[in-house]
C-alpha cells in the first residue's frame, strides 16, 4: 500500500485518487442550462472528475494538500485544472494558519470536493452565488477552535484574491438551434449574472458551533460572510446561515443508522453597473434557500433528499435598439433531488460507490426532469482540510 510514503526524513506523503463518472438522460435540450457548477453533469456520459492529489505531513505541526482535477467538457474534450495547494500550521495552541490556494470555509458544501458531495451535482447556491467552481482563494486563512465537553466552537477568517472559474463556455453558446437561447440572450441571463461573482480581493468568515445534546443527538449551526470585488468592478457581499441536526444510532462511534435534517439560507447583495451606461448603477439583493434530509439505513446504503430555490432578479433595465436589456439578471431556479447511494468498502483506504439520482428542475422557461447514474472510486486517506 502507498498509504504514507516517507520522504526527506520527517516529510510524509499520502497519495489520493478519486474518480467520478456519470451517465444519464434529461428532458433538457442543453444540459448546461441546468448546470450551476463546473462539475455538474454536462453530457449524457461524462467524466466529472479524475482527482489526483496528496496530503503532506512534516512533523507534528505542518501539513498540507495539493490536487489536480481532470474532466470532460460539454464538447467531449479533456481539460485539467489545479484546484488546491496549501500548507497548514497547527502549533499555535488552538489556532491554525493555512496559506496557498484553498476552497473557502463557507456554508455547508463549498469546502468539499466533488467526491464528498451527497448528490451528483452541486447545491444551486454553491454554483450560482459562489461561482462556477465554488469559492476559492489564493491567500491566507486563520482558524481558532475550542473544544468543550458537549461540542466545539470554531471561527475561520480568510483574505486573498478570489480564483475566477476556469470551466470555459467558448463552445457552450454554439448550439445547433440558436432559437432555444434567443429569449435568454434578450433577458441577459448570461454574462450579466456571472459579473456578480467575486473576481478580486476577497475576505470571508465562517463561525461554526457544534453542540451535542447527547452523543446521539448532534446540532451544527453556522454563520458565514464574504465580501469582495465583483466582475462589475464594484462589490458583492454574501451572508448565510446553515443548521444541521443529526441523530446517530451509535452516537459518536462509527457505523449504525443515521438521520440528518438541514436548512441553509443565503443573501447576496450585488453592486452592478450597466455595460453601456456607467451612470446606470445600483445595488440588488437576492436570496436562496435549501432544505436537505439524509437517511443512512445501513453501513452501505444512504438515501438523500434536497430542495433548493434561487430568487429571480432583474435590475438596471435599458432599452437598446428597441430591445430590453438588464445590467444584472439572474433567473429563478428550483430543484428537487432524490438520491440513493450504495457505498462499497473494497479494502484499506480503497472505496467505491454507485449513486442513482432524480432531479426535477423548474426554470423560467419550463420544467425539466433528469435521471443520473454516477460511479465513483476512491483511494487514499481523508484529505487535509
Better-predicted residue by pLDDT, 186 or 269:
269
Position 10 scores a pLDDT of 82
In a domain, 169, yes or no: yes
Position 323 scores a pLDDT of 84
User: 131 and 165 in contact (C-beta within 8 Å)?
Assistant: yes
Please indicate, yes or no, whether the overall pTM of this predicted structure exceeds 0.85. Answer: yes
Average pLDDT (12-29) is 96
* Strand, coil or helix: 167: coil
CATH assignment at residue 326 = 2.40.160.10
CA–CA distance from 311 to each of 125, 293, 333 (Å)? 10, 22, 7
Position 39 scores a pLDDT of 93
Position 187 scores a pLDDT of 35
Percent of the chain scoring above 90 in pLDDT: 81
pLDDT in tens, 93-138: 999 999 999 999 999 999 999 999 999 999 999 999 999 999 999 9
In a domain, 207, yes or no: yes
In a domain, 4, yes or no: no
Per-residue pLDDT at 4 exceeds 80: no
How many folded domains does the chain comprise?
A: 1
Position 5 scores a pLDDT of 62
For residue 151, is it left (φ>0), alpha (ψ between -120 and 50) or beta?
left
Residue 300 cell numbers, joined: 452501505
Average pLDDT (299-325) is 92
In a domain, 195, yes or no: yes
Residue 80 CB contacts under 8 Å (≥ 6 apart), including other chains: 68, 69, 70, 71
Position 321 scores a pLDDT of 79
Position 320 scores a pLDDT of 77
Question: For the chain, where are the alpha helices, taking DSSP H only?
Answer: 124-130, 182-187, 191-194
In a domain, 275, yes or no: yes
User: 135 and 109 in contact (C-beta within 8 Å)?
Assistant: no
Position 51 scores a pLDDT of 97
Q: In the beta sheet, which residues pair with residue 146?
A: 153
Q: Which domain holds residue 330?
A: 10-379
Better-predicted residue by pLDDT, 223 or 275:
223
Which of 272, 299, 302, 300 lies closest to 285, judged by CA? 272
pLDDT in tens, 48-89: 999 999 999 999 999 999 999 999 999 999 999 999 999 999
**Half-sphere exposure of residue 368: CA atoms within 13 angstroms, side-chain side:** 20
Which of 285, 261, 281, 262 lies closest to 273, judged by CA? 281
Length of the chain: 385
DSSP-derived secondary structure letter, 183? H
pLDDT in tens, 334-368: 999 999 999 999 988 999 999 999 999 999 889 99
In a domain, 130, yes or no: yes
In a domain, 77, yes or no: yes
Position 167 scores a pLDDT of 47
Spatial separation of the C-alpha atoms in residues 126 and 242, rounded to whole Å: 13
User: 256 and 249 in contact (C-beta within 8 Å)?
Assistant: yes
In order, the DSSP letters of 137-191 are: EEEEEEEEEEEETTEEEEEEEEEEEEPPP----TTTT--S-GGGGHHHHHHT-SH
pLDDT in tens, 212-241: 999 999 999 999 999 999 999 999 999 999
End-to-end CA distance of the chain: give it in Å, rounded.
23
In a domain, 44, yes or no: yes
Of the pLDDT bands very low, low, confident and very high (cuts 50, 70, 90), residue 174 is very low
Residue 374 cell numbers, joined: 454516477
Amino acid at each position: 500500500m502507498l498509504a504514507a510514503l516517507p520522504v526527506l526524513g520527517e516529510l510524509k506523503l499520502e497519495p489520493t485518487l478519486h474518480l467520478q463518472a456519470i451517465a444519464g438522460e434529461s428532458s433538457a435540450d442543453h444540459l448546461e442550462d441546468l448546470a450551476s457548477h463546473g462539475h455538474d453533469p454536462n453530457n449524457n456520459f461524462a467524466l466529472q472528475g479524475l482527482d489526483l492529489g496528496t496530503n503532506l505531513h512534516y512533523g507534528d505541526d505542518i501539513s498540507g494538500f495539493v490536487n489536480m482535477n481532470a474532466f470532460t467538457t460539454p464538447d467531449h474534450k479533456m481539460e485539467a485544472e489545479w484546484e488546491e495547494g496549501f500548507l497548514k500550521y497547527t502549533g499555535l495552541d488552538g489556532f491554525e494558519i493555512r496559506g496557498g490556494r484553498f476552497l473557502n470555509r463557507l456554508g455547508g458544501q463549498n469546502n468539499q470536493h466533488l467526491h464528498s458531495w451527497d448528490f451528483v451535482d452541486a447545491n444551486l447556491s454553491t454554483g450560482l452565488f459562489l461561482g462556477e467552481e465554488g469559492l476559492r482563494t489564493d491567500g491566507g486563512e486563520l482558524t481558532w477552535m475550542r473544544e468543550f465537553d458537549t461540542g466545539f466552537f470554531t471561527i475561520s477568517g480568510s483574505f486573498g484574491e478570489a480564483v475566477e472559474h476556469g470551466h470555459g463556455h467558448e463552445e457552450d453558446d454554439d448550439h445547433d438551434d440558436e432559437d432555444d437561447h434567443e429569449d435568454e440572450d434578450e433577458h441577459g441571463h448570461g454574462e450579466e449574472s456571472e459579473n456578480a461573482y467575486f473576481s478580486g480581493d476577497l475576505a470571508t468568515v465562517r463561525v461554526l458551533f457544534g453542540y451535542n445534546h447527547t452523543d446521539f443527538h448532534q446540532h451544527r449551526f453556522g454563520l458565514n460572510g464574504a465580501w469582495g470585488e465583483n466582475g462589475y468592478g464594484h462589490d458583492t457581499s454574501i451572508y448565510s446561515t446553515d443548521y444541521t441536526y443529526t441523530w446517530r444510532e451509535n452516537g459518536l462511534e462509527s457505523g449504525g443508522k443515521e438521520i440528518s435534517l438541514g436548512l441553509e439560507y443565503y443573501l447576496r447583495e450585488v453592486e452592478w453597473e450597466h455595460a453601456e451606461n456607467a451612470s446606470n448603477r445600483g445595488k440588488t439583493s437576492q436570496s436562496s434557500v435549501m432544505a436537505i434530509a439524509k437517511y443512512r439505513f445501513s453501513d452501505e446504503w444512504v438515501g438523500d433528499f434536497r430542495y433548493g430555490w434561487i430568487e429571480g432578479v432583474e435590475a438596471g433595465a435599458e432599452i437598446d435598439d428597441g430591445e430590453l436589456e438588464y445590467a444584472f439578471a439572474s433567473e429563478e431556479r428550483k430543484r428537487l433531488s432524490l438520491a440513493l447511494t450504495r457505498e462499497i468498502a473494497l479494502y484499506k483506504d480503497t472505496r467505491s460507490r454507485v449513486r442513482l439520482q432524480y432531479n426535477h428542475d423548474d426554470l423560467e422557461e419550463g420544467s425539466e426532469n433528469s435521471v443520473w447514474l454516477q460511479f465513483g472510486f476512491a483511494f487514499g486517506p481523508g484529505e487535509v482540510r
